[in-house]
Amino acid sequence: MLAEQKIDPKLVACPECDLLNHLPDLSVGESANCVRCEAVLAKNVENAIDRSMALTWTAVILFAIANLFPFLSFGKGSIVTHTKLISGVMGFYQEGMYFLSAVVGFTTLVVPITLITGLVYLLLPLQSGLRMPGAEHVFRWMLHIRQWNMTEIFVIGIVVAGIKLYKMATLEPGISAVALLLLMFVFTLISASLDARMIFEKLADAREVKL
Amino acid sequence: MALTAKEAGLVGCTVCGLLAPVAKSEGEQHCERCGEKLHTRHPDSIQRTWALLIAAIIFYIPANLMPITLTTALGNTQGDTIMEGVIYFMYHGEWPIGLVIFIASIFVPICKIAAMIYLLISVQRQSDQQRLNRAKIYRIVELVGRWSMIDIFVVTIMVALVQLGFLASVQAGSGAIFFCAVVIITMFAAESFDPRLIWDKQSNDD
Residues contacting A90, CB < 8 A, separation 6+: A101, B160
User: What is d(CA B83, CA B105) in angstroms, rounded to the nearest whole number?
Assistant: 9
Q: Are residues B111 and B66 in the same domain?
A: yes
- Are the Cβ atoms of B177 and A100 closer than 8 angstroms? yes
Q: Is B74 on the interface with A (CB under 8 A)?
A: no
Would B157 be classed as within a structural domain? yes
- How does DSSP assign A69-113, residue by residue? S-SEEEEETTEEEEE-HHHHHHHHHHHT-HHHHHHHHIIIIIHHH
- pLDDT given at position B204: 45
pLDDT for A164 beyond 50: yes
CA contacts within 13 A on the Cβ side of B138: 28
Whether the pLDDT of residue B16 is over 90: the answer is no
Chain B residues near residue A7 by CB distance under 8 angstroms: 10, 19-21
Instruction: Indicate the SS3 state at residue B88.
Output: helix
Answer for the pair A101, A109: CB distance below 8 angstroms, yes or no: no
23-82 of A, contacting B, C-beta below 8 A: 35-39, 41-42, 72, 74-76, 79, 81
Within this chain, do residues B23 and B90 fall inside the same structural domain, yes or no?
A: no
Q: Tell me the C-alpha distance between A112 and A104, whole Å.
A: 12
Please give the pLDDT value at position B117.
97
The helix or strand, by DSSP H or E, that contains position A139, with its residue range, turns out to be helix A135-145
Whether B205 is in a domain gets the answer no
| Residue A145 in contact with partner chain B when CB distance is under 8 A | no
Contacts with B20 from chain A: Cβ below 8 Å: 7
| Residue A98 confidence (pLDDT) above 90 | yes
CB contact under 8 A, B146 and A150: yes
DSSP state of B115: H
The reply to whether A206 touches chain B by the CB within 8 Å rule is no
Q: Is the pLDDT of residue A4 over 60?
A: no
Residue A20 Cα, gap to closest chain B Cα (Å): 5
Other C-beta atoms lying within 10 Å of the C-beta of residue B93: 8
Domain extent at residue B71: 44-199
Note whether B6 and B20 are same-domain residues. Answer: yes
pLDDT category at A75 given cuts 50, 70, 90 is confident
Within 8-27 of B, beta carbons closer than 8 Å to A belong to 8-12, 14-22
Model pLDDT, residue B205: 42
B22 and B96 belong to one structural domain: no
Contact state of A20 with B8 under an 8 Å Cβ cutoff: yes
| Alpha-carbon distances, residue A165 vs B83, B148, B175 (angstroms) | 18, 20, 21
Task: Please name the residues in contact with B82: beta carbons below 8 A apart, sequence gap of 6 or more.
Answer: B63, B64, B68, B101, B105, B106, B151, B175, B179
Is the same domain home to B92 and B180?
A: yes
Chain B CA closest to residue A86 = B160
Q: What is the mean pLDDT of chain A?
A: 91
Q: Rounded to 5 degrees, what angle do the CA atoms B41, B46, B50 make?
A: 150
Question: Among residues of chain B, what percentage have pLDDT more than 90?
Answer: 67
CB B13 within 8 Å of CB B36? yes
Q: Domains of chain A: which residue ranges?
A: 1-44, 47-208
How many residue pairs from chains A and B have C-beta atoms closer than 8 A?
210
Spatial distance between the Cα atoms of B141 and B131, rounded to a whole number of angstroms: 15
Are B68 and B140 part of one and the same domain? yes
Q: How many domains does chain B have?
A: 2
Residue B97 and residue B127 in one domain: yes
Question: Quick check: B15 and B34 in contact, CB under 8 A?
Answer: yes
Is the domain of B20 the same as that of B53?
A: no
Average pLDDT of every residue of chain B: 90
**CB proximity A197 to B under 8 Å:** yes
pLDDT digits (tens, 9 = 90+) for B155-204: 999 999 988 777 788 999 999 999 999 999 999 999 999 999 999 875 44
B123/A contact by beta carbon, under 8 A: no
C-beta atoms of A197 and B16 within 8 A: yes
Is residue B31 domain-shared with residue B52, that is, in the same domain? no
- Judge whether B204 lies within some domain: no
Q: Looking at CA atoms only, how far is residue A61 from chain B in angstroms?
A: 23
Task: Write the pLDDT tens digit of every residue in A22-56.
Answer: 999 988 889 999 999 999 999 998 899 999 999 99
pLDDT tens profile B101-122: 999 999 999 999 999 999 999 9
